[in-house]
Amino acid sequence: MSYTGKEKALILLAQLGDNADQVLALLEPSSADILTSAIENAPVLDDQQRQVFLSEVISEAESRRAQSASVESGSELSELAGPELLESDSDEDQGALDEAVTAISDEHAMSDEPGSSELESTEEAQDTSDEEVSSEPSKVKRSSEQIATLLADQQVQISAFFLMRLEESERDEIMDALPESYRDEVLARNVERIPLSDRVFDRLFEKIAYQDPEEAEQDAEEDFF
C-alpha cells in the first residue's frame, strides 16, 4: 500500500509513542500543532506492513546520509536538530517525509533488524557514544562571537532552542553578538512551551560550541596575520 508524504511522517511519529515529543519539540509551533492534531489518524499497520515500511525508511535514511556526506555546516546542523517535519498541511508535501526520516532516525538509532517497532534497542549504545564525543579533549571552545556568527546562519528555531538551554551569562554574551534583526527574531520565538530533548541539545552543543583542532589552528593563523 502506498502512503502520502504526510501519512508516512505520521506513521513514523506514531512508532515513537511518548518519544515523539522529542521530535515535535523542534518544529515550528504551527507545524507541531498540525502533526499533533493529526497523529491519531495515522494509518495503522500490522506487523508485516510495519516491517516493510520501516525497512524502506531506514534504507532511505542511509541513502540520503550517503548523498549528503559533504554538506555545509549550516545544513549539517539543521539535519542534526531535525528541522520542520511539515512545512504545510498538504498531502503532496514529500519533504515532510524526508525531514521525519532524518529527525527520527537520528534520534532513535533504529535497530539493524528491519521493522523493529521498539526503535530503542540501541539507545544505550548511542548514549555511550554521545558521552564519548562530549568528552573529547581535542575540541576547542568557540568564542561567543564565533558561536553567534555560526548561529546567525541557522534557522531561527534552532538558535532559539540552543540559546535557551545555556547559562544566562553565556546566552547574553552570544545574544549581544548576534545581528540585531536576527536577535529580535530569536527573542520572539517561543520554544519554552514545548518539551525539549536533552540528547538533541547535547549534539547541537558539540557542533556549535566546539571546533576541531584544525579549524582552531586555522583561526589562530588568520588572527595572527
Domain range list for the chain = 5-124, 131-213
Residue 46 or 91, more confident: 46
d(CA 215, CA 207): 13
Element (H, E) at 211: strand 210-211
Between 55 and 152, residue with greater pLDDT: 152
Query: 3-class secondary structure for 5-26?
Result: HHHHHHHHHHHHHHHHHHHHCC
Region 82-90: mean pLDDT is 39
Contact indicator for 49, 78 with CB cutoff of 8 Å: no
Q: Residue 124: beta bridge partners?
A: none
Distances (CA, A) of 20 to 12, 56, 121: 9, 20, 16
Residue 188 has what pLDDT?
86
Topology of domain 131-213, CATH: Annexin V; domain 1 (1.10.220)
Q: pLDDT digit string (tens) for 34-82?
A: 777 777 778 888 878 877 877 777 777 666 655 554 344 455 555 544 4
Model pLDDT for residues 3-45, shown as the tens digit of each residue: 777 777 788 777 777 777 777 777 677 777 777 777 777 888 8
Higher pLDDT, 159 or 40: 159
Query: Alpha helix (H) ranges present in 44-118?
Result: 47-67, 73-81, 94-108
* Rounded Cα–Cα distance for residues 10 and 42 (Å): 5
- 71-80, 83-92, 168-177, 193-202: the lowest-pLDDT one: 83-92
